């Protein structure tokens, strides 16, 4: 295929160098946004009298046909083209002759690509936000059923204090609300139009950048044309938000994997989100959660790749910046894939409250409450803490748990113990008593559920 820029050259580009230089294999996915941007540009050129109104109409109509043909499959992308921008323009010119050649007046591929990628990311971010809503829905669905399902809460993966399964799941819910806010925030800063920045310096034509910005749904224009074409900080921000989503999904996955193990057996994953082994007939593996955990690294890598591409680039556009796309596209594809399978996996998993309860009973997780019991009987906390430590050591040596020690045994450590101690250290009481804001008590958990429902509405 002949190059648009071939006039200056005596020789054609080496064919391997041509392949190397080409980005159409990956930027072809922005064809819709490229055409959208061109329609806005042509409309503005005519409104400002830079091209003829009739020519603009022909261009806009034909761009519409090209889009329809690409959508229907009547037209397929020519992968010999250098990039999607060249392809669309060449196709337009093929169809309209000289009129098609007027579209690129007062524009450069540098501002064109910067527009396309913003429009593309804006659309994709919207889809990912919807997927995160579905995940929050799934979390709420489970949480509402398990407001009183007691499980051990952990620190250092050691049983720490009793909590409810709802409380634990809602912690993830809170994380995903912040992830959504981070994405929205990144989109807000990204949503300014670089169109009209041209190659870097602006143009001699009397263009109206506000007009194209408005037509494309941007909140404003890039105030500096060099900045408009040369920064990709919005990609970094979005990638960082996506990496954080993956980090949260990965932690959640790790717990799902642990919970589904025979060692925990806190949950049973639905058959439709587990796989078998080719050799071990008994296996039911949490592959989906494992893959989500595994794919997290890719997205971190995409973020690093983007930061590294930009580091050390002189202003303004450099071809290095073509490398922005594969990184951000890969991150988007990965996050979307994960958010397609993860929410239904969470929604369909079955909690096993008896096993959670059993695990909660064995690890002295009411020891803090036993100390608090003595504090309420007038003992300083540090003294109570020490006595309870001795009681726990005694239990371990005698294969006992706190709930089963006799009152006589308790009194050997401290005469303040009375019959009410059993009631006070029951796991139900331990959970119910945690009435502080954000805590595991029922009223607090219900507030957290209400917050998430409000966030979603």
CB 165, min distance to ligand ARG, A:
48
> Contact between 33 and ligand ARG (CB under 6 A)?
no
Nearer to ligand ARG, 5 or 381 (CB): 5
User: In terms of CB distance, is 319 or 399 closer to ligand ARG?
Assistant: 319
Q: Does 230 bind ligand ARG (CB under 6 A)?
A: no
Q: Please pick, from the candidates 51, 66, 321, 360, the single residue that binds ligand ARG as defined by CB under 6 A.
A: 321
**Is residue 234 involved in binding ligand ARG (CB under 6 A)?**
no
Binding mask 77-96 for ligand ARG (x = CB under 6 A): ------x-------------
Query: What does the block give as tokens for 226?
Result: 């060099």
Inter-residue contact 149 to 164 (CB < 8 Å): yes
DSSP code for 275: B
Structure tokens at 369: 């409450």
Alpha helices (H) in 349-376, listed in sequence order: 353-362, 367-376
Note whether 239 and 191 are within 8 A (CB): no
Is 104 a binding residue for ligand ARG by CB under 6 A? The answer is no
**Binding piece for ligand ARG, criterion CB under 6 A, among 141-149, 177-185, 314-322, 414-422:** 314-322
156 given a catalytic annotation: yes
Which H or E run includes 143? helix 109-145
Span interacting with ligand ARG, options 136-144, 242-250, 307-315, 319-327, rule CB under 6 A: 319-327
Active-site option among 156, 399, 406, 436: 156
> What are the CA-CA distances from residue 9 to residues 2, 110, 227 (Å)?
11, 21, 30
Q: Which pair of structure tokens corresponds to residue 155?
A: 């620190």
Q: Does 197 bind ligand ARG (CB under 6 A)?
A: no
The single residue among 120, 165, 234, 317 that binds ligand ARG, judged by CB under 6 A, is: 317
Residue 5 has phi, psi (to 5 degrees) of: -100, 15
Q: Which of 25, 261, 272, 277 is catalytic?
A: 277
Cα separation, 210 vs 219, whole angstroms = 9
Looking at residue 197, the DSSP 8-state letter turns out to be: -
Sequence-ordered list of residues with C-beta below 8 angstroms from that of 32, at least 6 positions apart, any chain: 67
Annotated catalytic, 248? no
Residues in contact with 206: Cβ distance below 8 Å, sequence separation at least 6, in sequence order: 48, 50
Smallest separation, CB 83 to ligand ARG (Å): 4
**Residues found near ligand ARG in the complex (CB under 6 A):** 23, 27, 83, 109-110, 113, 317, 319, 321-322
Q: What are the residue numbers of the active site?
A: 156, 277
């Amino acid at each position: 295929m002949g190059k648009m820029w071939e006039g200056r050259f005596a020789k054609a580009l080496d064919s391997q160098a041509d392949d190397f230089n080409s980005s159409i294999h990956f930027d072809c996915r922005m064809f819709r946004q490229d055409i959208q941007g061109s329609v806005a540009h042509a409309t503005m050129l005519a409104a400002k009298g830079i091209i003829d109104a009739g020519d603009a109409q022909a261009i806009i109509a034909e761009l519409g046909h090209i889009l329809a043909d690409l959508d229907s499959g009547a037209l397929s992308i020519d992968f010999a083209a250098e990039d999607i921008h060249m392809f669309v323009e060449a196709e337009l010119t093929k169809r309209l002759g000289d009129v098609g050649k007027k579209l690129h007046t007062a524009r450069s591929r540098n501002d064109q690509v910067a527009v396309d990628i913003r429009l593309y990311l804006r659309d994709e971010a919207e889809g990912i936000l919807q997927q995160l809503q579905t995940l929050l829905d799934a979390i709420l669905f489970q949480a509402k059923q398990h407001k009183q399902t007691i499980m051990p809460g952990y620190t250092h993966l050691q049983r720490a204090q009793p909590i409810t399964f709802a409380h634990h799941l809602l912690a993830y819910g809170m994380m995903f609300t912040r992830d959504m806010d981070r994405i929205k925030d990144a989109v807000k800063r990204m949503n300014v139009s670089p169109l009209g920045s041209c190659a870097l310096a602006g143009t001699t034509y009397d263009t109206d950048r506000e007009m194209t910005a408005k037509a494309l749904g941007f909140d404003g224009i890039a105030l500096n044309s060099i900045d408009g074409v040369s920064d990709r900080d919005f990609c970094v921000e979005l990638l960082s938000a996506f990496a954080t989503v993956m980090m949260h999904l990965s932690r959640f996955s790790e717990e799902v994997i642990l919970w589904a193990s025979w060692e925990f057996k806190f949950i049973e994953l639905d058959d439709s989100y587990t796989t078998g082994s080719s050799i071990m007939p008994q296996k039911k593996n949490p592959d989906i959660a494992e893959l989500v955990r595994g794919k997290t690294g890719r997205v971190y890598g995409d973020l690093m790749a983007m930061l590294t591409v930009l580091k050390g680039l002189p202003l303004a556009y450099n071809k290095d910046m073509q490398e922005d796309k594969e990184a951000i596209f890969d991150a988007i594809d990965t996050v979307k894939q994960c958010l397609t399978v993860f929410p239904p996996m969470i929604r369909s998993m079955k909690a096993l409250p008896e096993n959670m309860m059993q695990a909660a009973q064995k690890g002295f997780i009411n020891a803090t409450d036993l100390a608090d019991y003595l504090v309420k009987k007038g003992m300083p906390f540090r003294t109570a803490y020490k006595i309870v430590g001795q009681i726990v050591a005694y239990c371990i040596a005698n294969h006992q748990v706190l709930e089963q020690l006799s009152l006589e045994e308790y009194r050997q450590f401290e005469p303040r113990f009375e019959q009410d101690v059993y009631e006070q250290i029951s796991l139900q009481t331990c959970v119910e008593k945690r009435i502080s804001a954000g805590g595991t008590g029922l009223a607090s958990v219900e507030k957290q559920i209400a917050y998430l429902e409000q966030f979603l509405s």
